[in-house]
Amino acid sequence: MVSAYFVLGVLFTASMVMAQDFSADVINARGSQGIKKVYSTRDKVRYEVEGDQAMGPIAAIVDETQKNWVVLLSGRHMYIDGWPPMMQKPIITQYWHVQDVNDACPQWKKLAEQAGTTKNWGSCTKIGSDTVGGRSTVKYEGVSSKGDKSNIWVDTKLHCVIKMDGVTGGGIELTNIKEGAQPAGLFTIPAGYTRFDMASMMQR
């Protein structure tokens, strides 16, 4: 279960709230860990993770309209819904969706203040227009208070971060981006799945 919550942490740390319908593969510089695929509609996002032998492939479905989420454990034909009261949804989930692609730094700094991490804040600089995988982006450079640098690319059409590197040797990139309507079945609980009460199990 600790492993399962680690996966959930990875999912919500990389949460992306999109305004466009699309799907994309996710390349993680750290290798096998993390999200492998993302499907997005105007109000829902589905993230897919490879998982392990016990859990099988894992998918998280976030419904931004209803402000809730569901995690599907395909290996057990079970699902987890709701955010347990002992867990706090990371504020970083708001980081990936950029309201103003040409002036993202103020939004990111405000999120750092809300998260209480401004001591790590160094600087944020807009570098200018760039192209990533044939898509139009705006590139930013971030420097921590310790001098660690990272580069961030924001897609001008999707209004989200599609590439980031230099973060303690890690980084992610969305590739094979395909815009268009996504199948509704991707965002529903499959027939035959039963609910797993994670909160009750943690309390016991």
Contact 129, 138 (CB under 8 A): yes
Of 150, 152, 98, 96, give the one whose Cα is nearest residue 122: 150
Euclidean distance between CA atoms 35 and 27, whole angstroms: 8
SS3 153: strand
pLDDT at res. 2 = 38
Q: What is the rounded average pLDDT of the residues 13-22?
A: 56
pTM of the full structure: 0.76
Domain span including residue 78:
2-200
- Residue 176 belongs to a domain with what CATH number? 2.50.20.10
pLDDT for 31 equals 62
Phi, psi of 163 (to 5 degrees): -155, 145
User: Of all residues in the chain, what percent are helix, strand and coil, respectively (each to 5)?
Assistant: 20, 45, 35
Whole-number Å distance between alpha carbons of 70 and 61: 5
- pLDDT over 70 at 1, yes or no: no
Match 């001591």 to its residue by tokens: 119
Pull the structure tokens for residue 44. 């829902």
Q: What confidence category does residue 94 fall into, taking pLDDT thresholds of 50, 70 and 90?
A: low
Per-residue confidence (pLDDT) for residue 134, from 0 to 100: 95
Return the pLDDT at 11: 43
Give the residue-averaged pLDDT of 32-59: 81
pLDDT at 18: 43
3-class state of residue 139 by DSSP: strand
The token duo for 63 is 């419904």
pLDDT(6) > 70: no
User: What is the rounded average pLDDT for all residues in the chain?
Assistant: 79
Instruction: Over range 71-94, report the average pLDDT.
Output: 68
Residue 96 pLDDT grade (very low, low, confident, very high; cuts 50, 70, 90): confident
Total number of domains in the chain: 1
- pLDDT tens-digit map of 21-36: 899 998 887 665 678 8
Q: What is the CA radius of gyration of the chain?
A: 17
Distance CA 58, CA 74 (A): 6
pLDDT of residue 168: 60
Q: Are 89 and 83 in contact (CB under 8 A)?
A: yes
Weakest mean pLDDT among 15-24, 66-75, 123-132: 15-24
The alpha carbon dihedral of 49, 50, 51, 56 has a sign of positive
Find the mean pLDDT for residues 92-112: 82
